[in-house]
Amino acid sequence: MMPAQPAPRVDAGSRRPQLNKGIPMAKSEKTVTIEQIGSPIRRPCIQRATLVGLGLNKMHRRSTLEDTPAVRGMIWKVQHLVRVVEDA
């Protein structure tokens, strides 16, 4: 007897949520500049850790990052604490 073949995996790409919900995309070459506008005081520790992951830790600091889906997801999680700065 031959062993049973495993079932093919279903691609989960179609079930993933859109990560750039209402966040304007940066116009410069695949970078996004964000500024911290809200304090992490009295926020869940995961939001504070997300701000640190974005390179922000104090008010009105700016950070320029690669414009990737992972970074967009982090921005979306703390959208009430940061804003996307449009480069002129």
Q: For the stretch 7-32, what's the b/e string if a residue is b when 16 or more beta carbons lie within 10 angstroms of its beta carbon?
A: eeeeeeeeeeeebeeebeebeeeeeb
| CB 68 within 8 Å of CB 13 | no
Q: What is the pLDDT of residues 12-41, one digit of tens each?
A: 555 555 555 666 665 547 899 999 999 999
Q: What is the pLDDT of residues 39-51, one digit of tens each?
A: 999 999 999 999 9
Output the pTM of the full model: 0.66
| CB 37 within 8 Å of CB 62 | no
Q: Which two tokens stand for residue 17?
A: 């949520």
Q: What is the pLDDT of residues 54-69, one digit of tens each?
A: 999 999 999 999 999 9
